[in-house]
Homo-oligomer: A and B are copies of this chain.
Amino acid sequence: MMNNDPALDHLYHALADGHRRSMIDRLAAGPLTVSDLATPLKISLPAVMQHIAVLETAGLLHSEKRGRVRTCTLSPAAMTKAEAWISDRRRLVEGQLTRLERYLAQPEKDEK
């Protein structure tokens, strides 16, 4: 089963928080340091670091420390995986709808 995939657990869990989504949002424009990420948020620096750890575990970003500054960069590959899972299921359901609509749209023939 692909649904027992801990990677998907981590991915969606990481995305299920407004602070983390906001961080992703701003990282989408380019790499940022830990302080950069923390500045607009009304939470403590350790809290920000915990969010970074969650995003890193999910594979959504990687970070590198140079001197005393840690810079975070998004990794699009993990996003692609999360997107693909949803996308596949959505297409299945929509395919169903299409078949239903097709059925409903066809002229009655055994009604006699």
Interface of A with B (CB < 8 Å)?
A: 1, 3-5, 8-9, 11-13, 15-19, 21-22, 24-25, 27-30, 74, 76, 79-80, 82-83, 85-87, 89-90, 92-94, 96-97
Q: Is the interface of A mostly helix, strand, loop or mixed?
A: helix
Contacts of A89 in B (CB 8 A): 24-25, 28, 74, 79
User: Quick check: A17 and B24 within 8 Å, CB to CB?
Assistant: no
Which residue of B5, B11, B17, B80 contacts A18 across the interface (Cβ within 8 Å)?
B5
**Please, how many angstroms separate the alpha-carbon atoms of A17 and B74 in the complex?**
23
**Please, how many angstroms separate the alpha-carbon atoms of A3 and B51 in the complex?**
15
Q: Which of A74, A79, A86, A92 lies at the interface centre, i.e. has the most chain B CB atoms within 10 A of its CB?
A: A86
Which residue of B30, B80, B93 contacts A79 across the interface (Cβ within 8 Å)?
B93
A30: nearest chain-B partner, CB-CB:
B96
